[in-house]
Amino acid sequence: MAPASATLQDNLNELDFDAMHDNIGEEIGTSKWIRVDQEMISDFGRATLDPDPMHVDPEWAQNNSPFGGTILFGFQTMSFLTCLLHDVLSQGAGEYYERGVGLNYGFDRMRLMTPIPVGAEIRGVFKLRDVKRRDATSAVQTYEVTVEIRGEDRPALVGNWLVLWASKSENTLAK
């Protein structure tokens, strides 16, 4: 267990759910910028079986879309949250998974505010909004998330992301 004066980062690293209550409202951090390209967008379309030309056909999008080119899928924007959070935590998922697992548990009030054009750079800003213990070895954390677009005043995405963290000590996920 982390000491009483532990930082939010310490409590996250230790998965100290009780101590995290002292950190509610604190910013976890801001990720590095990631440039999104057409290959990423087209790969997402293929993986999700969605051939929408507004996303995967640059010529069609240039001639027919109100955005003047292709844009990221909305669900693709949400999918970036995991890698953006891992960047903020300054360690890939591997170190956490030595102690347990983090699973997407859902979203509250998720809004896609601004389309992300091909070639744009995005980053994530994360704040700890809530921690609710489920039992002795698991808790649901709520992160207030914002995905920013470099050079844009309005964010691409705002909302609350719920993550179920369960320590490795027993199978709490089946409950």
* Residue 63, C-beta contacts closer than 8 angstroms, at least 6 positions apart: none
Q: What is the pLDDT along the chain (175 residues), one digit of tens a residue?
A: 444 556 776 666 666 777 777 888 888 889 999 999 999 999 999 999 999 999 999 999 999 999 999 999 999 999 999 999 988 877 544 455 567 788 899 999 999 999 999 999 999 999 999 999 888 888 999 999 999 999 999 999 999 999 998 877 655 455 5
Structural domain boundaries of the chain?
8-36+72-167
pTM score, two decimals? 0.86
CATH architecture, domain 8-36+72-167 = Roll (3.10)
> Per-residue DSSP letters for 66-80?
TTSS-B--HHHHHHH
* CB 163, CB 144: distance < 8 Å: no
